[in-house]
Structure formats: structure tokens, C-alpha cells
Amino acid sequence: MNPPEQHQEQFMDPSKYLPGVSIDCVVVGFDLEELHILLLKLKDEDLWMLPGGFILLDEDMDQAATRILEERTGIKLPYLAQFNTFGDVNRREKNMLSLKNDTHREFFTQYSAFLEKRFISTGYLSLVEMQNCLPTPDLMSDFCSWKPLSSLPKLLYDHREIVDVAMAHLRSRINYMPVGISLLPEKFTMKEFQSLYEHILHKELDRGNFQKKMLKLNFLDRQEKQLTGEAHKAPYLYSFNEKRYNELVEKGIGYIS
Amino acid sequence: MNPPEQHQEQFMDPSKYLPGVSIDCVVVGFDLEELHILLLKLKDEDLWMLPGGFILLDEDMDQAATRILEERTGIKLPYLAQFNTFGDVNRREKNMLSLKNDTHREFFTQYSAFLEKRFISTGYLSLVEMQNCLPTPDLMSDFCSWKPLSSLPKLLYDHREIVDVAMAHLRSRINYMPVGISLLPEKFTMKEFQSLYEHILHKELDRGNFQKKMLKLNFLDRQEKQLTGEAHKAPYLYSFNEKRYNELVEKGIGYIS
């Protein structure tokens, strides 16, 4: 089954969806160098948007978010957490579609009764391993790709604000979300783990301190050394003890930088 | 201006409100002994509900929550934080109104086109000083009062779940919410402060440890001793250094029990 086709088919009948409510997903990935956000490029516009969609009449909102994310990323049961609902009256009054091109005009004319309503949108934050992800455009977009958080393109409506709120949420909830296990590959160096935290917390961390605190929490299993030129300088690789890590995330890891 | 009349008048015209979305407020208070939740008793039913309402077409969702809270508590600009949006299909399929009595039947007949829709509801958590609050019933209720969290009555729909999610949120966000300053009176003893934390965190805390950690955070101003029979045993009263406290809450107090 082709995910975009499936979405397209479903969207053809707006009467199947709850009016006035939508879902926007901030999908975060980490390439060991910087954080990325999954974005869709609107057809024929210099404007990008978050993956999102609507809620079927007989579908729980969380199910809808899972479905939308699966369609856009190919990832089954991605880690998802609702973080905020955006309900300002004028939240769609900036960075609007130009409707200069036929594609959008046709689309919006056809669905105007549904799309012109005021929408309240619930934001979901998803943390995924970029390498497991198959970015897939939707009906309104011609491209789906990862963009570095540090240099995001112009985003539709209030989507930039939605990203910022999501990142603030992630920062303040770093002890309560499976950040490491969701964003890092199976094996990683302490430096990479620290780099992930530095990017999320937006500050440099002391290397010795970070390593000491994290090892003390006892959720890291030390693996072999990373293969590099000089064996004696090679850093150890680590992996997560999944059970222990998930238990800690449940009650709060308790890491303080 | 009489808040319930105002609400009643506005509600008379459902076309003024966004369809299908609502707001439910979990208002938490502390009487130095236990946590309380502000509830409304539905007319002629053994069923209580959270204060809630709908969003005017030209109103931001946060404004709507503030308005609803002001109407129910008389408190101007209460501390409010959105914590979750509830979007399950069957969230209103339990603990429904009986419609046995005329009041509700009339009410629901009149507004059935609006009320019978599937509703997605955004939960707001508010922390208020109980003594500053003027509980005020709304159109569907004949009583508004504080009920101890430990023995809540039967609640409408999924409102019990909404309370539980709010309390879990408060527990996990205790370092990021102005818990003390919002819920305690102006002056309080260390024991009362500790008791508040114990009720929120749902566990006993060591007295010496709690005091030491909180004093070290440097947001408490020591006041005079509490007047009791024996002056030498009287505990000190404390108040919050508002500026310092708010700064800390902003970046996370960093209290770990």
C-alpha cells in the first residue's frame, strides 16, 4: 500500500473528518551532528509545513496522530507525545499559501468549506531515528525532508511557533522523554550522547560531569571500542539498557546539567 | 456583573461558539491539609463535573480558558497551564447525564445540535489560593465547591481521567510550575510547604532533607515565628521571594525528592 495514495484517497471526502480540528507533528531527528525537523515543501511555493492532518470521525485523536506519522515516516508506532494545543484566532493569518498556482487554488476551491474554517490544532512531538525514516510527501506537498533545526526555511502559518513550543517542551521534559534511545543509533559514543543533550538543552556541558552523571544513572551498557585509527585513543561505544532506561524515564531520569 | 448570568446569556446562542471543541479546567487548591479540586454539581443529579465551557468564534483558546476560570472562581488572571487535549472517540460515553429531570432534558433538547457533536476537549490546570476563590455555579449546575482530591465524587464523562492526567502532569512538572506561591497563603511554615509537596508527589519526604534543599534554593524569606503557646517551640514562618522564585520556576527549580 502506498501511504500518500492512501492519504489522498481518504482526504477526498472531508465529511469523514472532524471539522475545525487538526494535528501538527514536530518530528525530531538527530544525525549525530545536529537536530533536524521533518518538513514538507508545499507544491510550487517557497513555503514548508509540518506533517499534519485531520481526525477521522471514528478515530481517537492519538490514533490519528499515529496514522499521520506512519504515513509521513513509514515508521510503525513512532514515539509520540502530545505537547500543546494551538487555539489562537489568528494562528493561520501569516505565511499563508499564495494560491497563485493552480494546484493550490483547485485544492482549496474544492475543499474550501472544510479548510476555510477556524482550526484548533493539537501538536504532537515525535522522536525518531532519522535512518529508520522514509520521508513521504502528502497531497499538498512535493517533497518531504529533514531540515536542520538551526536553519529552518519559512514555515506555513504558525508552524515555526509550533516547532519552538515543541523544542521548549522537549528541553523542559528531557528527563521524562526517551530522548537518548529514540534519537541515537543503537551504539553511540559518550561524546555523541553529550552532543545530543547539548543540542536539546542549547548549551555546552562539561564532558567529565556529563559522563559521570550519566554512568551513575546506570542505564548505559558499555560495548566494544569504536574502531578508529589509534586503538588506544578510541572511545568506548555504549548502548541503552532498555528496561532500566524506560523505568527511569517513567519516573524522571533526574539528570541536571 | 454577575458571572453566571453572563455565562448563561452567552451560552444562549450556540452559534457564537466553535463547534466540537471545549475546555475543561482542573482547578487545584490546598487548605494546608489536603489538595482540593473545584467541582460543579449537576442540577438534580449525583454527578459532578469540572468547570468548563466553549470557545467564542473570535476568542483565542487561552482567553476562553481565562474567561471560564474567572467566571467560576472570581479570580482575575488565574495561573493557568494547558496540560493535555482529550480526543478519544468515546470519552463522553460513560457517566452521562440521565436526562431524567426536566432541567437537563430541556437544556439538551434546546441545544442538542451543538451538544450532541463529538467534542475534543483541552484541559487546563489552574493553581489557586482557595481563600481567594469565589466558587460560582454555571447554567447546568446548582453548586460549585471544593472537593478533596482523595475522595472525589462521581464525575461526568471522562472528567475523573482528566483530573488524574492533570495531577500526573503537576507531579512531573513540579519544578516548572509556581506550585508553592500559587497554592500556599502568603506566610506558611516549612511543615506546610513540605505537606503541599508530599500531597502533590504522593509520598512522604524527609523533613530535614526537604528543609535543607528548599532553603538552599534561596527563594524563601524567613519571617517572624508563628504565634503559638510555647514561643521556643514555635516554627518560623516563610514567604516567597517572588522575583527569585519566578526566575527559578522559569528554568526549573531543580528540587529532587
What's the mean per-residue pLDDT of chain A? 90
Cβ-Cβ contacts under 8 Å, A61 against chain B: 85-88, 120
Q: Do A57 and B118 touch (CB under 8 A)?
A: yes
What's the mean per-residue pLDDT of chain B? 90
CA-nearest residue to B253 within chain A is A256
Q: Do A172 and B172 touch (CB under 8 A)?
A: no
Task: Characterize A161-188 residue by residue with b for buried, 16 or more Cβ atoms within 10 angstroms of its Cβ, and e for exposed.
Answer: bbbebbbebbebbbbbbbbbbbbbeeeb
Q: What is the pLDDT of residue A77?
A: 84
Query: What CA–CA distances, in Å, run from A72 to A75, A114, A232, B72, B169?
Result: 8, 22, 43, 43, 29
How far apart CA B70 and CA B133 sit, in angstroms, is 9
Q: What is the ipTM of this complex?
A: 0.80
pLDDT grade for B98, boundaries at 50, 70 and 90: confident
Higher pLDDT, B179 or B115: B179
Give the other-Cβ count within 10 Å of B214's Cβ: 19
Helix (H) or strand (E) holding B213: helix B207-216
DSSP string computed for B161-189:
HHHHHHHHHHHHTGGGS-HHHHHS-SSEE
In this prediction, residues A5-9 reach a mean pLDDT of: 46
Hey, CA dihedral for A236, A241, A246, A249, is it positive or negative? negative
Asked whether the predicted pLDDT for residue A227 surpasses 80, the reply is no
Q: What is the pLDDT of residue B229?
A: 64
The residue with cell 480558558 is B65
How far apart CA A154 and CA B174 sit, in angstroms, is 35
Q: What are A240-249's pLDDT values in tens digits?
A: 999 999 999 9
Q: Do B18 and A20 touch (CB under 8 A)?
A: yes
**How many angstroms separate the CA of residue A45 from the nearest CA in chain B?**
29
pTM of the model: 0.86
User: Among A121-125, A166-170, B91-95, B109-113, which is the least confidently predicted range?
Assistant: B109-113
Which grid cell sits at B164? 488524574
How far apart CA B19 and CA B56 sit, in angstroms, is 10
Q: Least CB-CB distance to B89: which of A19, A21, A58?
A: A58
Beta-carbon contacts of B55 under 8 Å, excluding residues fewer than 6 positions away, are A87, A120, B17, B18, B21, B22, B23, B61, B64
